[in-house]
Structure 1
């Protein structure tokens, strides 16, 4: 459905007229040359690629209004499930600007590529990823829920379906803050993203485990490419306030670093934590407040894939 579609055209204030756009089918044909063939039966193919998702049009991904559904169009769901029955070696490439339900087929498909809207060179970029010319290193900037009712907008009848008045009862508990604090298992967590290689996290070193208001907490972690290909990893830092007088998220993203490594190569990644990284906004005093007490550094590959932890004390 999206293999032969242009996707860089926006609407409203996002309207644009690109001089050209490479569709996914064009990128694949160009890179595969004579090794590319479209056949009728998936069972006859060595590998099946399904391009699914949305377009910039009413009811789908469009400026000024919501999507009609959290699900793919029915014909796309049927295409994916039917193809998987005939050929298990199937890759689903999703073109969309937001999460999509995958409940009907996610447990059967070996690979999902979230391609978003890639712009003018989308076709070439997708082909490069699929053919291994480029090792993917992207991370999800949002959470993919298993079902729509798990999202923070559906926390109560007052917020959904609601009425003519909008209530933001979720407060700061949006995105991963909602899913992690409420302990709701997502389909794919914030910060998630796979690579064609593997990375090992080791040797967390904290310079000073007690800091005051004007101090800087410095620490480092070693990242090792333990796979067989050159690749990049986004190392994510989350911080947890062990005990607070106000309700806070179970953890919050406070920094990230991207490092590119050859197979077997190791790199020391360094972070700094300031007073502001420990603070929350106090609505009663209209000030940012960092409370004294114990905090936990959480270093990982996503909000749900924490590899290393370390504690420190803030003395104010």
Structure 2
């Protein structure tokens, strides 16, 4: 499958992603896998994908979204209305037992370093996807009942207040991906959260009945573009030249700590999941570990 000739001369493919009932599919991914190009739709399903000038008929478009079947197709017009089919959901009974021990939080106790993760270039036109995930594996079987994310100010001057309040999406994966990384989606419902101030943001995951697989889980923060109101310009000074510059930021900063052994992975649409690695082969150079916690119920 490939693109028809009218599309080859266009500079971008724009459109929306919908489900079978016509409702917008938020934050769907639209990509050209062979070209390592892709964008994430906004919460209204709108996307704009820049197209390479040397696009050929052999190239195909892939559309995917949380809770929907992946689709490969041939777009034929400049404005595309793409439809996805929902994945079948198997409903199972839930039995609630009194826990012998209270739920416990796994992961870093607090944000201890002046270190963090952020998505600097996010905008409606440049929405290429960014996730930070941390791995957890309890010593016994149980359920994932909550998650925490340390949201912090990032020193962007007048932008800090709006950046802190930017919504993000919570993702949960089984550790069954390549090289033991994030793989199967466990949380197939789109769950958004946001902070009111710097510090831990707690998300209740009890309604989703998420069991801890034997191989453990990854809990991730996903940066998503939801509204222009969270896009902010700020002033900064270049270190070398001392020139005054204007920067643009979108989205919160996720806190972290520096360590020699990280449990943190990162994701982009272009390259997929990768684990943060020390550049020093001895492992002595400290690298970032995300300030994410998981609540475990035995």
> TM-score by structure 2 length?
0.31
**Structure that is richer in helix per residue:** 1
Larger Rg: 1
> TM-score by structure 1 length?
0.30
**Structure that is richer in strand per residue:** 2
